[in-house]
Amino acid sequence: MESKKILQKIIDYKYLLEILSYLKEYISLLEDKKRKSKFNISEGNISINPLLDNFLESVDLKLDDISSAQKLKDILEDIKKNAKVFTVILSDSPNDDLRRKVAKFFFDSISQYRLMKFNVSPDIGGGIVLKTPTRYFDFSYYKMLENSEDNVASLIKQYEI
């Protein structure tokens, strides 16, 4: 299992936490012999959640046994611990396609260990605001209008609008 390949498929920080949660549930179920026998479950033939199933399919992994599940959990925990987390602020909730595109852009452009946290703030009016642990980049419409306030006033005076 290659962590870079796995990281490329993680959409954002929330998605990582959800995958980890379902993976831990899977491991716990396999370790619990009583529940395992009660539900007639064997390693490799269980589906905990469609989200985890889709993730495993996207990275071309199968959890054939508890050791492969534990190894994946360790990789995801390492990503969670070491990843740089950026906060992306948008004016409206992004759909999955936009989340994937933004995550891919930052993965390809910036850093191997990066994760996005998506927040919504209608106050920005559109555009994007990016917060890193040490920097703040504001590409919002609000900021653009704020910066062009003097230009708009001078245009109105110049053309007597």
Res 84: pLDDT: 80
- The one-character DSSP state at 161 is -
Tens digit of pLDDT at every position of the chain (161 positions): 677 778 777 878 888 999 999 999 888 887 876 666 665 555 555 666 788 888 888 888 888 778 888 999 999 999 889 888 889 999 999 888 888 888 778 777 765 557 889 999 999 988 899 898 888 999 888 887 777 766 666 667 776 65
Res 112: pLDDT: 55
Query: Is the sign of the CA dihedral 82, 60, 41, 11 positive or negative?
Result: positive
Q: Where are the domains of the chain?
A: 3-81, 84-147
Res 86: pLDDT: 85
The tokens 């549930």 sit on which residue?
A: 25
Which of left, alpha, beta for 125 (phi over 0: left; psi -120 to 50: alpha)?
left
Which contiguous run of DSSP H or E holds residue 88?
A: strand 84-90
